[in-house]
Amino acid sequence: MPFLAALCLVAPLGAAAATPAMTDNPLLVASPLPYQLPPFAQIKDEHFAPAFELGMAEELKEVEAIANNPAAPTFDNTIVAMERTGETLDRASRAFGILTGALTNDNLKKLEKAMSPRFAAHRDTIRLNPALFARIAALYDARASLALDPESDRLLERYYKDFVRGGAKLSEADKLKLKLLNAELAKLSTQFNQNVLNEINASLIIVDTREELAGLSDNAITAAAAEAARIAGQAGKFALRLTNTTGQPPLASLTNRAVRERVMAASLARGSRGGDYDNRAIISAVMRLRAERALLLGYPTHAALQLDEQTAGSVDTVNRLLAQLAPPAVANARREAADMQAMIDAGQGGFTLGAADWAYYTEKVRAARYAFDENELRPYYEIRNVLVNGVFYAATQLYGITFKERPDLQGYSPDMYVFEVSNADGSPLALFLGDFYARPSKRGGAWANAYVPQNGLTGTLPVIGNHLNIPKPPAVQPTLMTHDEVNTMFHEFGHALHGMFSAVKYPRFAGTGVPRDFVEFPSQVNEMWADWPEILQNYAKHYQTGAPIPAALLAKVEAASKFNQGFSTTELVAANLIDQAWHQLTPGQVPDADGVLAFEAAALQQGGADFAPVPPRYRTTYFSHILGGYSAGYYSYFWSEVLDADTVNWFKSNGGLTRANGDRFRDLLLSRGGSRDAKQMFRDFTGHEPDIKPLLVRRGLDAAQ
């Protein structure tokens, strides 16, 4: 039943009769491709519904056989048997999740919306099965006498807790309430996320003249803005597309303040300006339903429910973390704002710094203070060079693994990279896919997917994908990355390593099957190699001349490394405060749709992060993370960074980029997935408890503190 950890699937309709969509349906059989790579070229939209129907029926039949087994429950005939269920459904749901995230269309959106409440119902049908839970509970109560190995013992414990948290101990009446809550929440969350994507694609900022886009590159104007306007039926004009964060990339370059303000206003208003994509009513309903579900399950709030299973451990711990970060972050941001305001005043700008101005004047202050423009770096960051001679090279030096391109294998887009990954001894390790370009059918941000998870029961090796949203240049132009995009590529490959190195027995623990607030830790550690001297000099080379990045430019990058940290920390703290404020409410405290924005403003004020020039990285109405898997969990990025900064110090103190260090990290942490307690794995590697001080130093908050 491993899919339950990733995607809530569908309620059964019984065994489906054969239809054309089921004949030769590639989702119904294991992929014949190497590593069981999904055969994307053969998968059609119409294959999914029948695969779900058959997969659901199969899984429920398997579960019923386990629940009603006349033999006494054993670890093998109950827990291991559960780990083997749902193969067809898992295969179909993974392919569906990959495509709805990266290459969706109207058919898939419609199917996703129709199925989401039934997905939740299918999960509930399994977890609320009293006969099945009775077997699990009997084993759990007798676990001291079972003599299980540590991973098996942990699996039994996880199954028991998952079922209890899923409502297995509730009365029949309360189980029915839970089913209704879960179905409605699934429907609303799907609608919210589809609204976010649809509004991004619909929210074009149209400008009439090329002069209004002064500051952008010729390529950004001609190839991107002009083409976007043409596609939108505004030929001869120019259009700027939005991304899902509050800040928008063009704001750093646009010299026309009126256009900057239009872009920022459009970004901030998303999901709250009426019409088809207004998410305020959805937010209100979701937060109320989540709060009701938490009470039903015996927790005071949704945050308490979520954090009970995380390494942070409690709401108080997260609140203390944010309270420790907010004051120095905002103090730093105010100092940064004063520097920018001084520059505006010196130029007789005649206005007060606003959110639309921050990115633009940040670059001006950076250039004045460090004689450094981030655009100077781009010629040294050509995408393939960064991937092969940076990301892959670092992994080879650290872990001994090697990469071989597989042009014979395909993803779902011709732009994708496919590489076979081998261990140092030449044995196969995994398949890696890279989907790095933005497209309207792709959700925003960056993420990793296990296309095929590692499975010790079947011997299945992993297939892992990384997904970014880098604007694709015209065919004749190279893809030159920003410094942030380079860091993101290293970050996401940290997730890939977590999945590829997975060496657990049970699929429940594979790869990133860890507490949510531990998921980002290994990926953030991997960012350290982006600017490690030996790695940097191997990939940071001019795309035309091959010349290495100048030492003087690197010195400027290092000198400016803590620059603008007040802003970057404050926007994240603000988003975290919003997340926690919503999820620490009781049902009666949740405001209605008209009160959503006022509640958000009050949460920022109470948390000390209501600084208008630095809005939250995401506002409530387009905060997809917290309507998905990061509800009450967006703090994970900070919590993981505490672990990450501490671990980076360990690497630096123990010789840095060495095979011995890499093998230790792989053995004690990356290979173990969720098979051991996450905090214990951290302690095993570093030899001590987590310490927040390295994080404060990294973000330049130690002096402010």
Active site residues: 492
Q: In Å, what is the CA distance from 263 to each residue of 206, 350, 361, 445, 501?
A: 10, 20, 16, 18, 42
Instruction: Say which DSSP state 323 is in.
Output: H
CA 385 from centre of chain: 24
**Coil/strand/helix, residue 422:** strand
Both tokens assigned to 407: 């042009």
Task: State the sign of the Cα–Cα–Cα–Cα dihedral 657, 658, 662, 668.
Answer: negative
- The Cα 402–Cα 663 span in angstroms is 15
Which residues fall within 8 angstroms of residue 456, CB to CB, at 6 or more apart? Answer: 503, 504, 505, 506, 507
Which residues fall within 8 angstroms of residue 114, CB to CB, at 6 or more apart? Answer: none
Both tokens assigned to 464: 């892992």
Amino acid at 391: V
Query: Buried (b) or exposed (e) across 132-158, using 16+ Cβ within 10 A?
Result: bbebbbebbeebeeeebeebbebbbeb
- Supply φ then ψ for residue 631, to 5 degrees: -60, 130
Instruction: Say which DSSP state 378 is in.
Output: G
Q: What are the beta bridge partners of residue 431?
A: 420, 463
**518 in Cβ contact with 511 (< 8 Å):** no
- The Cα 541–Cα 382 span in angstroms is 8
Helix (H) or strand (E) holding 294: helix 280-296
Task: State the sign of the Cα–Cα–Cα–Cα dihedral 353, 357, 359, 362.
Answer: negative
For residue 654, how many other CB atoms are within 10 A of its CB? 12
- The Cα 521–Cα 495 span in angstroms is 9
Q: What are the beta bridge partners of residue 404?
A: 420
How far the first Cα of the chain sits from its last, in Å, is 47
Amino acid at 515: P
- Supply φ then ψ for residue 312, to 5 degrees: -65, -35
Helix (H) or strand (E) holding 345: helix 315-346
Helices then strands, each counted (H, E), the chain: 27, 7
For strand 463-470 and strand 428-437, is the pairing parallel, antiparallel, or unpaired? parallel
Query: Buried (b) or exposed (e) across 292-327, using 16+ Cβ within 10 A?
Result: bbbebbebebbbbbbbeebbbeebeebbebbebbbe
Closest Cα partner for 271 from 627, 620, 576? Answer: 620
